[in-house]
Structure 1
Amino acid sequence: MEIYQLRTFVAVAQQGHLTQAAEILHLSQPAVTAQIKALEEETGVALFERTSAGVMLTEAGKLLLPEAEAILAGTRHLLHKAKSFKGQLGGKARVGTILTPTQLRLGPWLATLKQRYPLLQISTFQGISGSVLNEVRKKELDCGFYIGRNPYQNVHGLLLAELPYVVAAPAAWRESLEGCDWRTLGRQPWVGVSQFSSLSKLHSEIWRERNIAPKKVLDIDQEQTMVACVEAGVGLCLVRRDAAEAAAAQGSLWIWGDAAIDVPLTFIYPGERSDDPLVLVMIETLEAVWQKPLRGVD
């Protein structure tokens, strides 16, 4: 069964005459007759009865007409939708993600992308900041999210937010450390971060600025594990304020002092792709979701 046969069936039913239907369809009458005959043979039922005035639908034809009209309406809708895609951006985008979807506003962002660019195929890959940065640098990912200071000139970053980090300590250490200075903190065991983490340099810079050299008892590359180690009494650690406050509310750790170190959360992409339409629509939709223009990070 072909679409053009259904179109002919509907036209004959609406006109009630083979000749008039042929004129509308820009076909010869024998061609219209042949298409109706082929459709009747395929369906196994007679669709029309001849009358002195033309043709009229059989009972079977009356029942099948709405079905045929619905199919034709569906094909028109498909064609209109396809034509609306003309000139729209398509292709595949590989996005490196970190943290949680809520913190990155991933849901609203991906929804906005699909609404504005329905032909775009998006795949996300969850990782840690250091791995996302490295894969963007090597162009294994088209773009991604990153926490920390980007050391690569060939990777550009746009600031999304400043994330405050605080010193988290085991809850049992509060009595001995409350009101102490950084030098005292430097004599405590610390949960360090893996050299592959973007926060590794941050830890080193903070310790160097405070002139302390704490003993690292572990190297961890995932924040939830860091929090778990602090809760278990392993040592101190630099943790995002919101994660630390959530644990502190449960009484499982304690936040030392009120000093917070702000760390940039950025959207990163290969520098040579600054004019790439794919990257530009990523930035455009991020700005819509974050409700602000995104500026570069030095």
Structure 2
Amino acid sequence: MEIYQLRTFVTVAQQGHLTQAAELLHLSQPAVTAQIKALEEEFGMPLFERYPGGVQLTEAGKLLLPEAENILGLSRKLLHKAKSLQGEPRGKVRIGTIGVPARLKIGPWLARLRQRHPLLSIETTHGVSVSILNEVRKKTLDAGFYLGRNPYQNVNTLPLTEIGFCVALPPQLAGELANADWKELGKAPWLGVSQFSSLADITQELCRSRNIAPQKVGEFDEESTLLELIKAGLGVAVLAERTAKRYAADGSIMLWRGGEVAIRAPLQFIYSAEREDDALIGMLKGALRQVWDLP
């Protein structure tokens, strides 16, 4: 059974005449007759009764006609859908993510992108900022997110927001450090941060600006790890403001000077400078601008 046979069946039923149906279908009458006969053989029953003035549906034909019309309607819908997708961008887009997905508004962004461009396949890779930056530079990622100052001219950025950072204290040190000045704070043990984490650059920038050189306790690469070590009393560290205040609320950590923002860093969407005029990058940035309410 073919779609064109069903179309012929429906047209003959509507016209009640083989010749008129043939004219509408731009077929010869023998071709229309052959298609109807082929359907009747496949169904195992006659669909029309012939009489001198034309044809009329049998009882079986009357029962099958709505189903045939429904199938034709679905086939038209499928064809229209396929035509609407012509020219749509397609392929895989590789995005590097960092930190907490909610902070990046990943869900709303990718949902909007998928809604607008249904043929795009999105693949995310989670990592620390420096590794994502390097993957974008090497073009193994199409784009990504980066927290901090972009040091490379061959990487372009779309600034999204600024994130504040607080100095988080172990509860054991809160009594002596909660309102300490920077000189006193610099004498406390600090948790070292891996050079591959954007927190390393942010912490170093903060220490340089305050002229302190604290002694580091180890080297760690994730905010969640730093958080657990602060709770355990190992040392002081810089945490994103929202994270710091959330955990300070239950008393598991304390905040220097009540949660004063010590430093701010830009959260940016990054991509290769060579792709500034790339239509795909334009689509990614367009959806981001709407989600982040950017001009």
TM-score by length of 1: 0.94
Q: Who is 1:76 aligned against?
A: 76
CA contact (8 A) 1:193 1:221 kept: yes
- Structure 1's consecutive aligned runs of 4 or more residues displaced over 3 angstroms after TM superposition are none
Counterpart position of 1:229: 229
**In the TM superposition, what is the alpha-carbon distance from 1:16 to its structure 2 partner?**
1.3
* Secondary structure of the structure 2 residue equivalent to 1:199: helix
Check conservation: 1:149, 1:198, Cα contact below 8 A.
no
Q: Which moved more, 1:185-194 or 1:242-251?
A: 185-194
Does the 8 Å contact 1:46/1:61 carry over to 2?
A: yes
1:1-298 matches, within 5 Å, as 1-257=1-257, 258-293=260-295
Q: Once the 2 structures are TM-superposed, how far is the Cα of residue 222 of structure 1 from its aligned partner?
A: 1.4
Q: Distance in 2 between matches of 1:100 and 1:36?
A: 63
Shift of 1:191: 1.5
Shift of 1:251: 0.9
Task: Tell me which amino acid in the other structure corresponds to 1:139.
Answer: K
SS of the counterpart of 1:36?
helix
Distance 1:75 1:277 in 2: 32
Contact 2:199 2:238 in 1 (8 A): no
Q: What is the root-mean-square deviation in Å for CA atoms of aligned residues?
A: 1.4
Unaligned runs of 5+ in 2: none
Task: Name the aligned partner's letter for residue 95 of structure 2.
Answer: V
Structure 1's unaligned 5+ residue stretches are: 294-298
Q: In 1, Cα distance between the equivalents of 2:238 and 2:10?
A: 72
Query: Which region of structure 1 is more displaced relative to structure 2, 216-225 or 21-30?
Result: 216-225
Aligned pair count reads: 293
CA distance in structure 1 between the aligned counterparts of 2:63 and 2:101, rounded to whole angstroms:
51
Secondary structure of the residue that 2:161 maps to in structure 1?
strand
Q: Secondary structure at the match of 2:234?
A: coil
Q: CA 1:100–1:178 in structure 2 vs 1: closer, same or farther (change >3 Å)?
A: closer
How far did residue 211 of structure 1 move?
2.2
Equivalent-residue separation in structure 1 for 2:48 and 2:177 (angstroms): 94
Aligned equivalents of 1:40 and 1:222: distance in 2? 70
How far, CA to CA, are the matches of 1:44 and 1:99 in structure 2? 65
Native 8 Å contact 1:6 1:68 kept in 2: yes
| Change in 2 beyond 3 A, CA 1:248/1:194 | same
For 1:296, the equivalent position in structure 2 comes to none
2-structure distance, mates of 1:178, 1:290: 35
d(CA) in 2 for partners of 1:104 and 1:45?
63
